[in-house]
Structure 1
Amino acid sequence: MKKPRVLCKSAKGGKRSIMYDIIIRNGRVIDPQNKFDAKADVAIYNGKIVGVGDYQNAESDRVLDAAGHIVTPGLIDPHAHLWPLTKMGISTECTCIPSAVTTAIDAGSAGWATYETSRGFINTCKVRVKTLVNVSPMGLPCNGYLENVDPDYLGGVYEREIEQLFDRYRGELIGIKLRVNTGVIKDMGEKPLLRALELAERCHTRLVIHSSETAIPFERLCDLLRKDDILTHMYNKRNDSILLGPDGKVRPEAWEARKRGVLFDVGHAQGHCDVSVAKAAIEQGFLPDMIGTDACEEGAFREHLMFSMPFILSKMLSLGLRLTDAISATTEKPAKWIGMENQIGCLSVGSFADVAIFDLKDKDFTYRDRGGAFYTGHQLLKPVAMIKDGQVVYRDLEF
């Protein structure tokens, strides 16, 4: 890593003063990967983190005073839908940057027949983008579309096509997406899921399953998924894909799946996170591995329902999730899942300088479920600045 530039020798002729690009001072720094939660400064040079500690006397081109604020690694959204991979996608930079999201994972918006023609924005986007490919040829082109997930469609050509995509774009492509809800699976039973699992095994990748309104019993999904596969919409309350059993306890199959390494994502959206389910599961210690927004154009910045990643994190805090667990589920854990631990999702020396700064406000705020139930939270996590690769790309006027 390139060293910060030297300013001059000290008066004693020994130590030299160095100039950093940015120093964030006086904030409460929360870095779950490094088990760090304390008041500290963060020093940045040449797009990388060069240290967390005491930099009160250090020289810097820019100083951001984060006193009274929370400083974290830049957030990672493990479940979003991005334009132009789908017409219903969010504007990636316009939505992610003011939400302190430095890395976004598109959750299967594009299918194997549309991926190459819509992926061009990835290399020029200010937000780091990773993707899942949908087993459907068209993916999810618009709201209300029920994708074709028949593995025998066109003679089963999708398997060869997806294997070729992983040959070309591995690293950018990090998994396969399948929705197993009743409208998509129809009368095919487990066949699309079993074939998708076989394909994921051959591609040496993971499978992400949409579990809301599932056509396959929840316990069966838990039994079939492998280590590092993801079951998303974990707190939904639709059909059989709810997390809680009839006795109000977390299903034993969910606990067993977690022991095997299956991961669980909130996948919030506008209607996939029921307050009663989430609150009960959190109270029993069944916390999310990841907190994805499932953001799309219709849901982004919609008051009370979804709005943004910080809004959803605030909602999770109001339901009993600790702040450090919420930060872990949007930094450390998704970074590890995509194989970029020690590069993003942390403030380790040498990691990319992706940093978020928040104001945690004591403020009553109203949330609403898709079912119409309102409830009030008492803390709001408000982004005030975001740094991506060592550049300040967002800053609140009052910060």
Structure 2
Amino acid sequence: MKQTLKNLRVASGKRIDLSIQDGMIQQVGTLNQSDANEIHFPKDLYVSSGWIDLHTHAFPQFPPYCADPDDIGFKTGVTTVVDAGTCGADHIDSLYELSMKRKTRVLSFLNIARCGLEKTNELTDLNDISEREIEKAVQRYPSFIVGLKARMSASVVGSNNLEPLRLAKAVSYKLNKPLMVHIGSAPPLIKDILDLLDERDIITHCYNGKDNQLFTNEGKPIQALIQARKRGVSLDVGHGSKSFSFRVSEEAARAQIPFDTISTDIYSNNQLNGPVFNMATTLTKCLTLGYSLASVIRAVTETPAKLIGRTDIGHLRPGAKADLTLFKVEKDTSVSLVDSHGVVRQSKGYIKPFAVYLGGQYYEL
């Protein structure tokens, strides 16, 4: 069935119409033809390609880092969730089977430890990192597995320091897949982690407020970060329960070190009890930092799609999948926003999802 969505705004403020047929975008622009299936929207409604959450925990079996993909996905305005390392090779079949039963598109950054987050110190035993099992998993699901994930903090790696990252880099290079790296408490030191990363690699939790962070006590980017950015390393927000600091993110903005992608690191507990709640709240926090609406929306659509090598989502062009997020920007209402350290900022308005268009279906939220 063909549908024409009329009178929508993109993040830049430009108004467009969209023609959709069989779940694909056919035309974009000002469409004058009369269509029995025209849908007219309020003038204050925005549209973007469907929001992509690059760092989630979308596998229900491993508490506390667990959630159902639809609960953190399309029901909150997110059309694609990327599970960031909940599953390793031992459980990737189960995640894939689950994904086939959900409306939200689910993808995976495969944990380099075959056990995934079945245990939360998954990189303390190097025997759990099996290049052979990683390769077999990627061979089974070459499109579903969009990259690899390594959690490089002290509680995860134990006495292994940088060795899990070296192993991860070798296999990611061999498989031509990007590597997402979680940063947290030392060891290993953040500068040593950065020195091993290059183009296509992604640092998540980039604005965490822990001692082992990307910025000095004076709010300046460390030299290893400056060099990593020159090599093409990307920065992902990865908010999470303990990994987003208003202070650090404000320092980064002043130092002109912007995020590349905005993700939530969401799972059931920090969705229900905060401080994450949902993608819209995380986007609002980034908007409150002074970033434009266009740059915030780009960081949850076009850029994450590019990083995971998906050309069929993340943009509003003919031939793309009709994954859409429709949302409002409530400019006249201030809300209290809380970071991972309990610090509060008042927003200057907020982003509110209105509906998604996904798999040929329209879902009002």
Question: TM bucket by the smaller chain?
Answer: over 0.9
- Matches of 1:48 and 1:293 in 2, distance apart? 27
- Matches of 1:262 and 1:206 in 2, distance apart? 10
How many residue pairs match? The answer is 363
- Matches of 1:193 and 1:95 in 2, distance apart? 29
Q: TM-score, normalised by structure 2?
A: 0.94
The aligned counterpart of 2:339 is 369
Is 1:68 paired with 2:44? yes
Query: Which stretch of the first structure deviates more once superposed, 50-59 or 179-188?
Result: 50-59
Q: Deviations over 1:105-148 (max 9, x none)?
A: 10010122222244311223211111011122321137xx3224
Query: Which stretch of the first structure deviates more once superposed, 177-186 or 327-336?
Result: 177-186
Q: Is the 8 A contact 1:200 1:206 kept in 2?
A: yes
The aligned counterpart of 1:21 is 2
The aligned counterpart of 1:49 is 25
Q: Is the 8 A contact 1:283 1:320 kept in 2?
A: no
The aligned counterpart of 1:351 is 320
> In structure 2, the residue corresponding to 1:246 is in which secondary structure?
coil
- Matches of 2:124 and 2:316 in 1, distance apart? 40
- Matches of 1:60 and 1:344 in 2, distance apart? 27
- What is the Cα deviation at residue 83 of structure 1? 2.3
Of Structure 1 and Structure 2, which has the larger fraction of its residues in strand? 1
- What is the Cα deviation at residue 389 of structure 1? 3.0
- What amino acid maps onto 1:347 in structure 2? L
Alignment counterpart, residue 107 of structure 1, candidates 70, 77, 84: 84
Q: Is the 8 A contact 2:305 2:313 kept in 1?
A: yes
Q: Is the 8 A contact 2:25 2:322 kept in 1?
A: yes
The aligned counterpart of 1:84 is 60
- What amino acid maps onto 1:77 in structure 2? D
> In structure 2, the residue corresponding to 1:316 is in which secondary structure?
helix
- What is the Cα deviation at residue 57 of structure 1? 4.3
Q: Deviations over 1:143-201 (max 9, x none)?
A: xx3224432x26x6x11111111111111111111111111122112111111111212
- What is the Cα deviation at residue 370 of structure 1? 2.8
- What is the Cα deviation at residue 37 of structure 1? 4.7
The aligned counterpart of 2:214 is 243
- Matches of 1:200 and 1:149 in 2, distance apart? 20
The aligned counterpart of 2:290 is 320
- Matches of 1:311 and 1:104 in 2, distance apart? 16
Mark the runs of 5 or more structure 1 residues left unpaired by the alignment. 1-19, 31-35
Q: TM-score, normalised by structure 1?
A: 0.86
- Matches of 2:184 and 2:349 in 1, distance apart? 28
Mark the runs of 5 or more structure 2 residues left unpaired by the alignment. none
- What amino acid maps onto 1:146 in structure 2? N
Query: Which stretch of the first structure deviates more once superposed, 364-373 or 170-179?
Result: 364-373
In the TM superposition, what are the counterparts of 1:1-399 in structure 2 within 5 Å? 21-30=2-11, 37-84=13-60, 86-87=62-63, 88-141=65-118, 145-151=120-126, 153=127, 158-240=130-212, 242-303=213-274, 305-341=275-311, 343-362=312-331, 363-392=333-362, 394-396=363-365
Q: Is the 8 A contact 2:3 2:39 kept in 1?
A: yes
Query: Which stretch of the first structure deviates more once superposed, 368-377 or 73-82?
Result: 368-377
- What is the Cα deviation at residue 308 of structure 1? 0.3
> Root-mean-square deviation (CA), in Å?
1.8
- What is the Cα deviation at residue 94 of structure 1? 2.4
- What amino acid maps onto 1:81 in structure 2? H
Give 1 or 2 for the bigger CA radius of gyration. 1
- Matches of 2:8 and 2:162 in 1, distance apart? 50
- What amino acid maps onto 2:22 in structure 1? N
- Matches of 1:22 and 1:214 in 2, distance apart? 53
Q: Is the 8 A contact 1:52 1:347 kept in 2?
A: yes
Q: Is the 8 A contact 2:49 2:325 kept in 1?
A: yes
- Matches of 1:334 and 1:150 in 2, distance apart? 31
Structure 1 residue ranges, 4+ long, deviating more than 6 angstroms after superposition: none
Task: Sort the Cα spacing of 1:217 and 1:60 in 2 relative to 1 into closer, same or farther, 3 A.
Answer: farther
- Matches of 1:267 and 1:238 in 2, distance apart? 14
Identity of aligned residues (%): 29
> In structure 2, the residue corresponding to 1:294 is in which secondary structure?
coil
Task: Sort the Cα spacing of 1:95 and 1:190 in 2 relative to 1 into closer, same or farther, 3 A.
Answer: closer
- Matches of 1:94 and 1:372 in 2, distance apart? 25
